[in-house]
Amino acid sequence: MSTEAIDNELDRASTVIRTAWGVGGLVALVIGVLILVWPGKTAAVVAAVIAIYAIITGLVYLGLGIFAKRYGIWARIGHLVLGALFIIGGVVALANLRTATELLAIVLGITVGILWIIEGVAALTLLRGVPSKVWVIIYAVITIIAGIILLFSPLYGALALWWLLGISLVVMGAVQIVRALRFSAERL
């Protein structure tokens, strides 16, 4: 392969990388701005997408229950029931989108709270094998306290996490766009 052919391949690879980074950064930036400008509406869109996903999943399960002849009768009935539940859940969520959005935020807040408590406790189990015990203890205590706060106010905690996500996406998107603009084939 000639030097010119290699340079052409590197230029094409550079263009693909720049484009991917640029598009990814732009998508992150736009989503972040949407979260910050319209946090409730953006959260409602997320809840609607999950509801639509539930309906599609329900249709797949119904199809399995109806057409999968190799399954036994109980497996097919199970798929039919599961499909119906997914569809009902998705339709109810779409019909009550505001409530579904709030419920999703509460579930997210509770889930993150529980995970942070578990993470803090897990960090404490590592005390014996680490040289910086003080930092592990500080980290564990902060994580456990943050988890408990989220459990007692999951909706407000989820709102704070939502804003943090928006801010993070704006910053990461802007940085990714700058990376894309400054990237060249010479770096490959």
What averages of pLDDT result for each successive group of 10 residues across the chain (188 residues)?
Answer: 75 84 92 94 94 96 91 93 97 96 93 96 89 91 95 92 94 92 67
Q: Among candidates 40, 86, 29, which has minimal Cα distance to 62?
A: 86
pTM for the whole structure: 0.74
For position 184, what pLDDT does the model report? Answer: 66
- In one-letter notation, the amino acid at residue 10 is L
Q: What is the pLDDT of residues 55-98, one digit of tens each?
A: 999 999 999 999 988 889 999 999 999 999 999 999 999 999 99
Per-residue model confidence (pLDDT) at position 185: 53
Q: Determine the length of the chain.
A: 188
